Amino acid sequence: MEKSRMVKILELGKKNSDEEILAELIRLEKRIFPKHESLAQNLRQEIHRRNSGVFYILEDSLESDNLSLGEGKHQRVAGYLMYSCTSLVATITKLAVKESCRRQGYGEALLRAAIEKVQSKKVMCINLHVDPIREPAFSLYKKLGFEIETLVHSYYAPNRDAYRMVLNFDSDK
């Protein structure tokens, strides 16, 4: 039976703990993405962009809001997702899960939360880009209904392509 995980929204300035979470997101961003793909230097600005949002999820052992962290320790973020919306389209700009937490449902929980959130904004679709060699990510997107729209040549770097994938919502709802 799959465990239900609590996905939280990062709202800087609302709580002191959000600054700790932001610091953890920056560390995770630097570990996962090559420097030319990383938003670590601009993560705070990205979070504050109009019509954008960030979801994060803590590792199972630290999902309580009543954490007592010792000096020098930080909450362990398992992953995060960034998105942006226009009036009709949402875009998943980042979905990152710590290597030790992959294939445990964290990415799926984040993606499901984002889908639910942007559907409430009445967008027509969500799009994203994924490297075709990232099979686990590609499989997750397919599992949740995303379809390949096109192959974008040299999207990430010369000779490093991306699938542009889209999840269309039923306009009759």
Question: Each residue of 104-144: pLDDT tens digit?
Answer: 999 999 999 999 999 888 899 999 999 999 999 999 999 99
Q: Which of 10, 90, 94 is nearest to 51 (CA)?
A: 90
How much is the pLDDT for 90? 95
* H-only helix segments in the chain: 17-32, 43-48, 106-120, 135-143
What structural domains and CATH numbers belong to the chain? Answer: 7-123 (3.40.630.30)
Of the two residues 104 and 70, the one the predictor is more confident about is 104
